[in-house]
Chains A and B, each alone.
Chain A
Amino acid sequence: MRREGSPWRGVGAVFLKELSDHLTGARMIVLEWLVVLTGIAAVYVSIQQIKNTSAEDPFLFLRLFTQAGEQVPLSFATLLSFLVPLVAIGLGFDLVNSEHSRRTLSRILSHPIYRDALLFGKFLAALTAIAISMVALWLLVIGLGLLTLGLPPSGEEIARALVMLVVTIFYAGVWLALALLLSTAFRSPATAALIALGLWLFLTILWPIFSPWMADLVGSRDIASAEDFLGALSVRQGFARLSPSSLFGEIVSVVLDPSVRSTQQPMLAALGLALVERGSIPGAPLPFVQSLLIVWGQIVGLIAATILLFVAGYVVFQRQEVRA
């Protein structure tokens, strides 16, 4: 049985209204300032660090995003992986259930639009609001770099930084879709917000601590050769990748650092080890496209997670009764 009419009817109207709500709402302003102020602080710290080290680095500009300070061990990229979910959850946790509690849902749906339009318009508007603030923040960081470092970024650096920007927006999409799903499944915004924040704490802070331990329970424990070791590392990585923030971390660490040739390299480096491929010059920068290819799977993973979570929210919403 096929429905008459387009599911897209009304998306534009919903999108514009929701976007204007977000951009004028106090919540968005607070979250934006939180991200901007902490982001600028992180970049400021990394600028001090970069100025102190006089080593020649052809990709100095990218270290604005990845360099952690000595007192403050947080780079801009790490900070984003913490705070972007918070912004997305903050905008998304009451998107649907507030329409219930305001008793506007049945009135809005009595107009000639499908539910699809309402949900999709809301998702798109919140994502756009996040994207706008991320672009602004990104430009702010680039501008700050130009002013303080006094050297212009190369084309490749800009390209890599742009990829990071786009990936950050996809990363926000995952958390937004999760928040939207929770806001559909739970009638009380407080419940939805608590569960979303709980998942956020678990996935970004606790999971990185527990996942290696759980991986070692599953994988083999006796390590006899380098292959065994790398195998165990892959299992650990597989477990860690269940959290979107570790996917984001992998992408950012590879894209923003051309010397990283594999996603395992940062983990090995943390153990004081280096992976040397046959025929490669250690430390030589990887071309942009090659870096992108290494983390292509992770990028697709983020997008797929967004789509899956959105579809789950969509199904719940379609089956839901309109009346309170």
Chain B
Amino acid sequence: MSDVVIDAQGLSKRYDGAVAVDNVSFTVGRGEIFGLLGPNGAGKTTTILMLLGLTEISAGAARVLGHDPVREPLAVKRRVGYLPDSVGFYDYLSARDNLRYTARLIGFAEAEREARIADALARVDLAEVAGNKVGTYSRGMRQRLGLAEILMKNVAIAILDEPTSGLDPQATLELLDMIRGLKREGVSVLLSSHLLDRVQSVCDRVALFQEGRIVLMGTVAELGREVLGGGFAVEVEAEGQGLAERLAQVPGVRTVEAPGPDRFRLLADRDVRPDAAAAVVNAGGRLRRLSVEEPSLEAIYTRYFHDHGARHAA
């Protein structure tokens, strides 16, 4: 129990008749990166705001670090860092002054304030421009400044809403690296996104949102098996005689296709790379390439909404 930092049970949010979030339940473990994925307007941000006590919960209950965000919002907000979707800062203040203000709001003592701010800014590579007005910052720099605020706060949970949206590929990679850095320090991360392939690389588990409900939840591999039906797709490139038959005899392989000369595509229940390599070598073939396709979140997502998405509104 102590390893569950966020426990949402049947969370619902209704706005005069319209249902934004409908009976959502999930848990996030200590040191885990949990992704809330889904199209815009699926209820991800509303779920996050309910966990932070920033909007009322219509039905259900949540515990964040053992606290109820409705009754004890300050206790929750003391240990949780939040990076909102397209975060805003006071443009006419410098990055350092922005963080000074939040440090005062958090209630850090004067003595530790400056050291924490300098340390956090250095960790997101903003130390050199810390004196510049935030108005001059690029989108990526603002996002990093938002992360610096979370680092400064010394939190147990970081909640990031669409952290990578609107960033260029380089900035996205940097940001994802910093998110992994949070995990290394034992911080649990809850992040929401509609950019699937980017998020896939950092998330331990994901929940797929659609119209306010969680429709799928689990590790990416689990979802892949569930939705795509096939376990692993192994690509083999090798020269030799009768390789297709040999490969088909490898235990676990269901089908063998030959998309090109000397190329084979195996669909298998498990990762059959070692056995496939042995099969090729034993048959006297020359193995050139051997790779396994990880199930892609993009593929899962598209397939899922293709199968279930007749009602899916654009």
Contact, CB under 8 Å: A322 / B54: yes
* Residues on B with beta carbons closer than 8 Å to the beta carbon of A111: 77, 102, 105-106, 153
Contact, CB under 8 Å: B55 / A4: no
A4–B71 alpha-carbon span in the complex (Å)? 7
Contact, CB under 8 Å: A108 / B54: no
Given A4-B71, A111-B106; A102-B77 close (CB under 8 Å): no
A12–B105 alpha-carbon span in the complex (Å)? 9
Is the C-beta of B124 less than 8 angstroms from some C-beta in chain A?
no
* Residues on A with beta carbons closer than 8 Å to the beta carbon of B77: 110-113
**What distance in Å separates the Cβ of B22 from its nearest Cβ neighbour in chain A?**
18
Count A-side interface residues using an 8 Å CB cutoff.
28
* Residues on B with beta carbons closer than 8 Å to the beta carbon of A107: 82-84, 87-89, 102, 146, 149
A13–B70 alpha-carbon span in the complex (Å)? 24
Is the C-beta of A54 less than 8 angstroms from some C-beta in chain B?
no
Is the C-beta of B45 less than 8 angstroms from some C-beta in chain A?
yes
Is the C-beta of B254 less than 8 angstroms from some C-beta in chain A?
no
A103–B92 alpha-carbon span in the complex (Å)? 14
* Residues on A with beta carbons closer than 8 Å to the beta carbon of B105: 10, 13-14, 108, 111-113
Interface of A is mostly: loop
Is the C-beta of A38 less than 8 angstroms from some C-beta in chain B?
no
Contact, CB under 8 Å: A106 / B54: yes
Identify B90's interface contact among A1, A104, A106, A112, CB under 8 A: A104
A-B contact pairs, 23 of them (CB 8 A): A1-B70, A4-B73, A4-B74, A10-B105, A10-B107, A13-B105, A21-B92, A103-B88, A104-B89, A106-B54, A107-B83, A107-B84, A107-B87, A107-B102, A107-B149, A108-B105, A110-B81, A111-B77, A112-B77, A112-B106, A113-B74, A323-B46, A323-B49
Q: Which residues of B contact A (CB under 8 A)?
A: 45-46, 49, 52, 54-55, 70-75, 77-78, 80-84, 86-92, 101-102, 104-107, 146, 149, 153
Q: What 7 pairs between A and B have smallest CB-CB spacing?
A: A103-B88, A13-B104, A110-B82, A5-B74, A111-B105, A104-B88, A4-B72
Q: Which residues of A contact B (CB under 8 A)?
A: 1-5, 9-10, 12-14, 16-17, 21, 102-104, 106-114, 321-323
